[in-house]
Amino acid sequence: MRGAMGATLAGLFQLALVFPSQGGELVRVKITNLAFVPADITVQPGDTVEWVNEDFIDHTATETSEAWDVAIPAEKSAQLQFPRAGTFSYYCRIHPGMTGTVHVIAK
C-alpha cells in the first residue's frame, strides 16, 4: 500500500517537471472588484496567462499600445501565451483605471 502511494507520487512529480518544457505553465490572474489580482506578475517565455473574471461585468486585458487585446466576458476566463521576453503593460479598455503588468523573463 505504502509502496503504491510512493510510486504514484513519483509519477506526479515527474509530470510536474516535464510539463513546463511542453509549452510553459499556466499563470492565473484573478479579476475581482474592477482590479487585476495580482496586478504585477512575472512569467517565463512560453507561459500562458489566464485571466479569470469573477466580476459580473465584461473586462479586457489590452496591451498599452494595443499589440494585443483579450476580451474577458463576465464570469468567464481567457488566455494569452507569451512566447517572448519583455515587459507588457496592459489595462481594461472598458475601465481604463484597471491596469496590470506582465514581466516575461527567461530563467
Minimum distance between the CB of residue 95 and Cu ion, rounded to whole angstroms? 4
By CB under 5 A, residue 61 contacts Cu ion: no
By CB under 5 A, residue 37 contacts Cu ion: no
User: According to CB under 5 A, which residues from 85 to 104 bind Cu ion?
Assistant: 92, 94-95
- CA distances to 26, 79, 105 from 71, rounded to whole Å, are 18, 9, 25
Q: Which CB sits closer to Cu ion, 43 or 92?
A: 92
d(CA 48, CA 82): 6
Minimum distance between the CB of residue 82 and Cu ion, rounded to whole angstroms? 21
* Contact criterion met (CB below 8 Å) for 42 and 103: yes
Q: Which chain residues interact with Cu ion by CB under 5 A? A: 59, 92, 94-95
